[in-house]
Structure 1
Amino acid sequence: MKIYDWPTGPYPARVRIALAEKNLQSAVQFVTVDLRKGEHKTADFLATKNYSGTLPVLELDDGTLIAECTAITEYLDALDAAQTLTGTTPRDRGVIHMMNKRAELELLDAISVYFHHATPGLGPQVEIYQNEEWGLRQRDKAVRGMRYFDSVLRQQPFVAGEAFSMADITVVGGLIFASLVKLPVPVECEALVAWYARMQQRPSVRHQLAMVPPPREPAA
């Protein structure tokens, strides 16, 4: 298997964490695609690897291409009977997918929009169109998302309940992105910060090149 990847990207980090959780690192070859140079937006990449122009992309030995982090994680998790990341019971699968989608919409994707629209992003060669107002709205949405996940983690040890799952990986990706864009975690989000500290003790998370603690708002 090959994974088209950018080693410090928050989205590729999600798949790297899933690979480490499944002990599959040795089964894949990483192929670096330079986001800063816009290699993921070239006509060749769009035509031959991923129509959406995003990373990561998993290429199977038979040439099948699987893009989108959730789909890749589903595939990796299904390679053995212990589907630890996406759930084994109908209930667990439903809850994990719900919380994973919320983590994407309310945190990770919102920070991505902020990055691409209200900061220099990947530079003028890649950021052809920017809408700063929209980016700032999404920044504020991401901060609300941090408060939401803080409230969830005050009630349970992991994002989707009692066990580590794909949803936790997605929130980790969101906080990696928050650190990259220097978006502070609200000072009152103590449960979220404590959870993130625990996540950084997991070898699958700790070894990510992008892993740096997100900034905190100063206490009043």
Structure 2
Amino acid sequence: MKVYDVEGFPNPARVRIALAEKGATDKVEFIPVDVMGGEHRTDAFKAKNPDAVVPCLELDDGSHISQCTAITEYIDGTFDGPLLTGKTPQERARISMMNLRAESGLLNAVGDYFHHATPGLGPDLETDQCAEWGNKRKDVATRTMAYLDSVLDENDFLAGDTFSMADITAFAGLAFADFAQIDIPANLTNLSAWRAKVSARPSVSG
């Protein structure tokens, strides 16, 4: 299997953490994509992933899977190790719910702020900005941080007592927030403590 990505970018980080949690990092080949040079928008790359974003998983039969949630679900079902997407229907549903909230309300909201209300990746790539929209999305990201903090007041992790795909997504969202200079409010102590705990996991720190 091959993973087309950019090391250090938030969404690729989600897949890399999932692979590390499953002990499968050495089972895939990472292919760097020159996003800053616009490689992700070429016809050759869009033939692999019409969304024109990274990461993209290429299977041994030549087919492709994009979207981090779908890639993580494939990884979780393919490799041994701790389950990241849940075991029972209730666990799977709760993890899916929290993953979507973390993705939409935090990671994607930060991304919208970064790409619309800041210089983002530069004028060659940021060709259709709307600063008003971006700033509204920044507010969404901050509100989502507060929501996640409230969830963590009663749970060790975002979907219960076990580390899951939802935690990976939120962790990547906070890393992106750092890059976009959106701080975790000081009063959100549960979220900050959770982040420190996740940061110490070998899949993240190693």
Q: TM-score, normalised by structure 2?
A: 0.97
Distance in structure 1 (CA, Å) of the matches to 2:50 and 2:82: 29
- Counterparts of 1:4-153 in structure 2, within 5 Å, are 4-46=4-46, 48-80=47-79, 84-153=83-152
Where 1:78 maps in the other structure, the secondary structure is helix
Where 1:3 maps in the other structure, the secondary structure is strand
Overall identity of the aligned pairs, in %: 52
Q: Deviations over 1:141-194 (max 9, x none)?
A: 000010000010111100000100000000001011011111111111100000
Distance in structure 2 (CA, Å) of the matches to 1:83 and 1:49: 29
Q: Deviations over 1:91-143 (max 9, x none)?
A: 00000000000001110000010111001111111111100000000011000
Gaps (5+ residues) in structure 2?
none
Letter in 1 for 2:182: L
Q: Is the 8 A contact 1:35 1:122 kept in 2?
A: no
Q: Is the 8 A contact 1:5 1:32 kept in 2?
A: yes
Q: Deviations over 1:60-106 (max 9, x none)?
A: 01001000000000000001465610011000000000000000111
Q: TM-score, normalised by structure 1?
A: 0.91
Gaps (5+ residues) in structure 1?
208-220
Where 2:184 maps in the other structure, the secondary structure is coil
> What residue number does 1:205 align with?
204
Distance in structure 1 (CA, Å) of the matches to 2:170 and 2:86: 17
Distance in structure 1 (CA, Å) of the matches to 2:81 and 2:64: 24
CA RMSD of aligned residues (A): 1.0
Where 2:158 maps in the other structure, the secondary structure is coil
- Write 1 or 2 for the structure with the bigger share of helix: 2
Where 2:57 maps in the other structure, the secondary structure is strand
Cα distance change, pair 102–186 in 1 and its aligned pair in 2 (3 A):
same
Distance in structure 1 (CA, Å) of the matches to 2:32 and 2:79: 27
Q: Is the 8 A contact 1:104 1:170 kept in 2?
A: yes
> What residue number does 1:2 align with?
2
Cα distance change, pair 52–17 in 1 and its aligned pair in 2 (3 A):
same
Distance in structure 2 (CA, Å) of the matches to 1:44 and 1:117: 27
How many pairs does the alignment contain? 206
- Counterparts of 1:174-189 in structure 2, within 5 Å, are 174-189=173-188
Cα distance change, pair 7–80 in 1 and its aligned pair in 2 (3 A):
closer
Distance in structure 1 (CA, Å) of the matches to 2:111 and 2:132: 14
Distance in structure 2 (CA, Å) of the matches to 1:44 and 1:82: 34
Q: Is the 8 A contact 1:3 1:59 kept in 2?
A: yes
